[in-house]
């Protein structure tokens, strides 16, 4: 297959970027999108040019490192798929494809297609954990957790932290990401003691890092490669509201 | 090289408890005076960094990805073993210990494996406490399944994403410590050298992969948890960034490298589709519970299938060879990984392989679908079938799935004693990066167990013991102002300059592929003296070629994926040679290491317990000097050596 690629090139975080056009030929339809970019990189290297910088690691859709906006859609047109699991057979021979980094203010471009997603880590650091020390745990079957709750927590915990939800959101909100973690931990008995602290702290960090507010547009759910449902946002909103009220009456909570 | 394993005295079941009691403690108010460097943020590194910080040490943690949450532990699918005996089916610490030693083909150290089995229960408790959503039964209890041919159900799982959930558990504990300021996290940093002061590991040299800056970091000790070396094969199921550099640089600084030839080839991966492929994808082993593995009996039929002239469904049973069922009637399609992989290779070597490259065999669900209905199969394997279809474009409900073995895990690694301390004092090694627990073959669902055992429950004790022994007067005494750091930094910078100044014509990726082809061909599933000797010669030539014809575009002071790859490939080339030497030295077949000279008449692996019941540990002697072999004899006091039989 042959393609025309329009790829975002940007030397570093302070330089101006632009879309540069490349032709690529003889790509196998079994190649993944990133393997197609590997081939382009090798071609560029052969010409003595700098290959594109883009993030990737596991290439099996689980590490969350890859972060390409393909024809305007984070992770491309296939639903429930990361860019690394997207195969070229889903494109038309001769097609022009535009490849950009995540576009969101809290994720500045570092180089070409690489952005800085450390604000997501900061949200987790502020409350996305259950306080426990190695060695302090009780027997694993002490808390019985009904299957429905365990499944619900697992659905939310499937988030890979790629940031596609932020990139897809017109407000660059990180609500789906933040809510997924809150829903996962707040629904489990182990996570209950810190339920309110967690909701307040993570939302506060999210706001502080410059992510926008959520206006229930739903682009995040559509872009999520792990099909995380908007329901988790309702979960966070509920827990957050209760936490705010409790906080109002008892500021030390 | 001193290979004293420091196995504690006393009966097997009391060793760890009495060792813990005998260890030096560090007063809580003194712990803040010490600093520890942890390289790698996977299960072992992430858990160790978090746990050491919880104890009060100052930790610096380094990873090459943009976040510690991306370490490749995340990709493990199947599950994690623990001897909880929640199923009341006769499991125990001793049984898990025994299964692991036997599964490792009697090439692991008894005391370490026993400790692993012992702490396995604590791991599950710890993970549940920090929020890992393991699968549950309707009554709310934890669910288990049997895995990898075990006769008890001891595997805990979180759908097909157990590794992800365990890693995110460790990541959340680590994140908490980062938030508290007890761990300083360095993302997008790559360790390029180890620094020793007076023989003890006291720091590392790293390159900031965004700015290209090379910096020195000092600490009171160093923990290496940088994963395995499967990418020496170029194609493997490892993440793209997985590399041997940190471990190999430590090796060059004096750390013994143990059993590099022990690599695990997983039988059920999606076959290679072409020479532009970047990685292989694993399909869960659970598929072998219902799928039947076969290849055409006749090479001409296989050729017709490859060329698309013959539909595999139309081939009658008489013309199919269900080779695992034929060779291993009692285990059939569930034969262990090493044995299944070799059988598939044999079929392909005989020209009976399928897939476009001829390197594939069928994993056919036709009979299972007929027997139990499509719906039942869909419930069991729906997500795996979808994944297969997403990657290959074939519908496995209609066309038989194709599989081929791929490199998946490396049992070899840096040599460590019972304390997980390498031959360099003060340098500890955890997880896949060390060699300790799996012998010559790892059992399914044991990698996650070992990573977390090392990280949560072993290193936090043994590192503390080391620091306690050094004494509080030594804490923080060595800084990165020390001469040794300047020397190491210069070494690293000179190497980067050298890589960039060759100005040849071949890309690092191209060299990596060439290396991978050599290793796969001669040091893959079947090895021979002749092949390995050839491989060593070829790798030497490749190395020469690399240093005279490499081309690295771009500059060093910026993100440069070519430069990163060049450095890693340079180490992989040297390491590949070591691996072949080890395979050549080991004149027996055991676990994942199969020497064609050493097999029974039926073609089964033939161990030589009399001469090879030892761990082969290599000492680096210099750039163009052959490495020196040392041996740690393995003493079995609790397990009787027997031949593994799956007939």
Q: Give which of A54, A62, A195 to mutate to test B binding, by max B Cβ within 10 Å.
A: A62
Asked if residue B198 and residue B120 are part of one domain, the reply reads yes
CATH number, domain of B183, equals 3.50.50.60
Residue in B closest to A136 by C-alpha:
B126
Interface of B with A in 135-164 (CB under 8 A): 135-142, 158-159, 161, 163-164
CA A73/CA B509 separation, integer angstroms: 30
Question: Which residue range forms the structural domain that includes residue B310?
Answer: 270-407
Distance CA B204, CA B218 (A): 7
Pairing of strands B401-410, B263-269: antiparallel
Q: Does B50 touch chain A (CB under 8 A)?
A: yes
pLDDT at A252: 59
Any idea which residue has 């203010």 for tokens?
Answer: A105
Return the axis-axis angle of helices B483-501 and B561-585, rounded to nearest 10°.
Answer: 100
pLDDT tens, position by position, B306-355: 999 999 999 999 999 999 999 999 888 988 788 899 999 999 999 999 99
Q: How confident is the model at residue A251 (pLDDT cuts 50, 70, 90)?
A: low
Q: Answer left, alpha or beta for residue B476, where phi above 0 means left and psi between -120 and 50 means alpha.
A: left
Q: Are B460 and A134 in contact (CB under 8 A)?
A: yes
pLDDT at B275: 84
Is residue B619 assigned to a domain? no
pLDDT at A70 over 50: yes
Asked if B461 is an interface residue toward chain A (Cβ–Cβ < 8 A), one would say no
Which of B67, B128, B129 is the closest to A121 by Cβ? Answer: B67
Q: What angle do CA A204, A185, A181 make, to 5 degrees?
A: 55
Nearest to A127 by CA among B51, B180, B48: B180
Residue B264 placed within a domain:
no
Residue B173: list chain A partners with CB under 8 A.
129, 132, 134
Q: Give chain A's mean pLDDT.
A: 96
Q: Which residues of chain A lie closer than 8 angstroms to B239, CB-CB?
A: 57-59, 63
The b-or-e profile of A173-211 (16+ CB within 10 A means b, else e) is bbbbbbbbbbbbbbbbebbeebbbebbbbbbebbeebeb
Report chain A residues whose CB lies below 8 A from the CB of B167. none
Do the domain assignments include residue B236?
no
Q: Which chain A positions have a beta carbon within 8 Å of B393's beta carbon?
A: 29-30, 87, 89
The CATH fold of domain A117-249: Fumarate Reductase Iron-sulfur Protein; Chain B, domain 2 (1.10.1060)
Same domain (yes/no): B521, B605: yes
Count residue pairs from A and B with Cβ separation < 8 A. Answer: 222
Report pLDDT for B149: 64
- Residue B144 shares a structural domain with residue B185: yes
**Is the minimum CB–CB distance between A157 and chain B shorter than 8 Å?**
yes
| Total structural domains within chain B | 3
User: Which chain B residues touch A128 with a CB distance below 8 Å?
Assistant: 172, 175
User: Is B125 in Cβ contact with A139 (below 8 Å)?
Assistant: yes
- Cα–Cα distance between A26 and B72 in angstroms, integer? 31
Domain edges within chain A: 3-111, 117-249
Predicted local confidence at residue B397, as pLDDT: 95
Is B131 close to A184, i.e. CB distance below 8 A?
yes
* Catalytic sites of B, residue numbers: 337
Q: Do B130 and A132 touch (CB under 8 A)?
A: yes
One domain, residues B42 and B69: yes
Tokens of B606: 């033939």
| Main-chain phi, psi angles of A92, to 5 degrees | -90, 145
Closest residue, chain B, to A43 (C-alpha):
B507
Neighbouring C-alpha atoms within 13 Å toward the C-beta of B407: 28
- Residue ranges for chain B with pLDDT beneath 50: none
Q: What is the distance between the alpha carbons of residues B170 and B176, in angstroms, rounded to a whole number?
A: 10
B52, B164: one domain: yes
User: How near does any CA of chain B get to the CA of A162, in Å?
Assistant: 10
* Per-residue model confidence as pLDDT tens digits over A133-187: 999 999 999 999 999 999 999 999 999 999 999 999 999 999 999 999 999 999 9
Q: How far is B552 from chain A (nearest CA, A)?
A: 8
Question: Does residue B645 sit within a domain?
Answer: no
Q: Is A31 on the interface with B (CB under 8 A)?
A: yes
Domains A3-111 and A117-249 equal at CATH topology level: no
Q: Which fold has domain A3-111?
A: Ubiquitin-like (UB roll) (3.10.20)
Task: Please tell me if residue A194 touches chain B, with a CB cutoff of 8 Å.
Answer: no
B457 and B500, same domain (yes or no): no
Place of tokens 């090459």: B64
Whether residue B94 lies inside any domain: the answer is yes
Cβ pair A125:B241 closer than 8 A: no
Do the chains contact at A49 and B54, CB–CB below 8 Å?
no
Q: Does B645 touch chain A (CB under 8 A)?
A: no
pLDDT (0 to 100) of residue A249: 87
Q: How far is CA B610 from the centre of its chain?
A: 28
Residue B279's φ and ψ, nearest 5 degrees, are: -160, 165
Q: Are residues B73 and B178 in the same domain?
A: yes
Instruction: Read off the CATH number of the domain in which B277 is found.
Output: 3.90.700.10
Which residues on chain B are in Cβ contact (under 8 Å) with A202? Answer: none
> Residue B256's closest CA among B417, B34, B496?
B417
Say whether residue B460 is in contact with chain A using an 8 A CB cutoff: yes
Q: What is the pTM of this model?
A: 0.97
- Alpha-carbon distance of A223 to A226, in angstroms, equals 9
Q: What is the mean pLDDT of residues A71-94?
A: 96
> Does the beta-carbon distance from B179 to A42 stay under 8 Å?
no
pLDDT attached to residue B148: 67
Q: How far is B481 from chain A (nearest CA, A)?
A: 30
Say if A199 is an interface residue toward chain B (CB within 8 Å).
no
Shared domain check, B213 and B119: yes
Residues B367 and B449 in one domain: no
CA-wise closest residue to A227 among A176, A183, A188, A185:
A176
Write down the pLDDT at residue A253: 47
In a domain, B399, yes or no: yes
- Ranges of beta strands (E only) in B259-358 are 263-269, 292-296, 320-321
Output the domain CATH number for residue B550. 1.20.58.100
Q: Which residues are paired to B39 by β-bridges? A: B62, B224
Residue B208 lies in a domain: yes
Residue numbers in B near A11 (CB within 8 A): 558
- ipTM entry: 0.98
């Amino acid at each position: 297959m042959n393609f025309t690629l329009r790829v975002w090139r940007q030397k570093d975080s302070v330089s101006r970027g632009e879309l540069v056009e490349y032709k690529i030929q003889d790509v196998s339809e079994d190649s993944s999108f990133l393997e197609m970019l590997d081939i382009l990189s090798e071609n560029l290297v052969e010409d003595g040019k700098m290959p594109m910088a883009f993030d990737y690691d596991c290439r099996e859709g689980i590490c969350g490192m890859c972060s390409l906006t393909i024809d305007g859609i984070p992770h491309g047109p296939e639903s429930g798929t990361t860019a690394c699991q997207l195969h070229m057979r889903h494109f038309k021979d001769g097609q022009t494809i535009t490849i950009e980094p995540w576009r969101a203010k809290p994720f500045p471009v570092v180089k070409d297609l690489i952005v800085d997603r450390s604000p997501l880590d900061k949200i987790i650091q502020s409350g996305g954990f259950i306080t426990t020390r190695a060695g302090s745990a009780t027997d694993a079957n002490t808390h019985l957790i009904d299957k429905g709750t365990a499944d619900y927590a697992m659905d939310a915990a499937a988030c890979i932290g790629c940031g596609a939800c932020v990139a897809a959101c017109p407000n660059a909100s990180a609500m789906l990401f933040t809510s997924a973690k809150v829903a996962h931990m707040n629904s489990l008995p182990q996570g209950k003691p810190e339920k309110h602290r967690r909701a307040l702290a993570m939302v506060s960090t999210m706001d502080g890092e410059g992510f926008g507010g959520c206006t229930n547009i739903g682009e995040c759910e559509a872009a999520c490669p792990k099909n995380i449902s908007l329901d988790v946002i309702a979960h966070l909103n509920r827990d957050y509201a209760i936490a705010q009220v409790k906080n109002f009456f008892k500021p030390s909570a | 090289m001193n290979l004293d394993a420091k196995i504690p005295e006393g009966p097997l079941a009391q060793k760890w408890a009495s060792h813990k009691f005998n260890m030096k403690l560090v007063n809580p108010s003194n712990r803040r005076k010490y600093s520890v460097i942890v390289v790698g943020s996977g299960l072992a590194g992430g858990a160790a960094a978090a746990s050491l910080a919880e104890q009060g040490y100052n930790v610096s943690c380094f990873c090459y990805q943009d976040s510690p949450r991306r370490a490749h532990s995340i990709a493990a699918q199947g599950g994690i073993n623990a001897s909880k005996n929640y199923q009341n089916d006769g499991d125990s610490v001793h049984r898990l210990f025994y299964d692991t030693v036997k599964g490792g083909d009697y090439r692991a150290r008894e005391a370490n494996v026993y400790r692993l089995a012992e702490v396995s229960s604590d791991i599950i408790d710890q993970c549940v406490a920090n929020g890992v959503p393991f699968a549950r039964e309707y009554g709310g209890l934890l669910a288990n399944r049997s895995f990898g041919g075990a006769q008890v159900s001891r595997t805990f799982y979180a759908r097909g994403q157990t590794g992800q959930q365990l890693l995110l558990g460790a990541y959340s504990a680590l994140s908490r410590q980062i938030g508290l300021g007890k761990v300083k996290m360095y993302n997008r940093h790559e360790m390029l050298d180890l620094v020793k002061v007076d023989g003890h590991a006291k720091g590392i040299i790293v390159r900031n992969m965004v700015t290209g800056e090379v910096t020195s970091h000092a600490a009171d000790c160093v923990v290496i948890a940088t994963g395995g070396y499967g990418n020496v094969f170029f194609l493997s199921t490892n993440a793209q960034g997985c590399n041997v550099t940190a471990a190999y640089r430590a090796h060059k600084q004096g750390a013994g490298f143990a059993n590099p030839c022990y690599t695990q080839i997983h039988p059920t991966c999606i076959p290679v589709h072409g020479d532009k492929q970047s990685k292989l994808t694993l399909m869960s082993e659970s598929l072998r519970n219902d799928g039947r593995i076969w290849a055409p009996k006749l090479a001409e039929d296989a050729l017709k299938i490859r060329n698309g002239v013959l539909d595999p469904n139309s081939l009658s049973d008489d013309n199919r060879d269900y080779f695992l069922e034929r060779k291993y009637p009692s285990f059939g399609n569930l034969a262990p990984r090493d044995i299944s992989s070799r059988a598939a290779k044999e079929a392909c070597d005989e020209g009976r392989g399928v897939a476009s490259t001829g390197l594939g065999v069928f994993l056919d669900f036709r009979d299972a679908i007929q027997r139990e209905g499509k719906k039942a199969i869909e419930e069991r394997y729906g997500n795996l079938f979808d994944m297969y279809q997403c990657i290959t474009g074939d519908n496995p409900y209609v066309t038989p799935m194709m599989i081929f073995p791929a490199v998946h895990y490396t049992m070899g690694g840096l040599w460590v004693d019972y304390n997980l301390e390498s031959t360099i004092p003060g340098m500890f090694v955890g997880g896949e990066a060390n060699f300790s627990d799996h012998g010559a073959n790892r059992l399914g669902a044991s990698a996650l167990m070992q990573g977390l055992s090392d990280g949560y429950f072993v290193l936090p004790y043994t590192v503390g013991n080391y620091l306690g022994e050094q004494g509080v007067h030594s804490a923080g005494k060595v800084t990165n102002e020390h001469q040794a750091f300047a020397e190491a930094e210069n070494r690293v910078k000179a190497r980067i300059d050298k890589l960039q100044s060759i100005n040849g014509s071949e890309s690092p990726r191209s060299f990596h592929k060439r290396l991978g082809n050599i290793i796969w061909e001669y040091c893959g599933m079947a090895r021979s003296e002749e092949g390995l000797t050839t491989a060593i010669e070829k790798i030497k030539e490749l190395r020469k070629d690399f240093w005279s014809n490499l081309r690295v575009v771009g500059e060093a002071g910026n993100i440069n994926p070519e430069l990163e790859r060049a450095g890693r490939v340079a180490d992989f080339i040297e390491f590949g040679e070591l691996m072949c030497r080890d395979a050549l030295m080991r004149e027996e077949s055991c676990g994942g290491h199969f020497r064609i000279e050493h097999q029974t008449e039926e073609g089964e692996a033939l161990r030589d317990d009399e001469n090879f019941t030892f761990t082969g540990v290599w000492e680096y002697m210099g750039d163009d000097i052959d490495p020196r072999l040392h041996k740690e004899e393995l003493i079995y006091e609790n397990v009787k050596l027997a031949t593994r039989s799956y007939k």
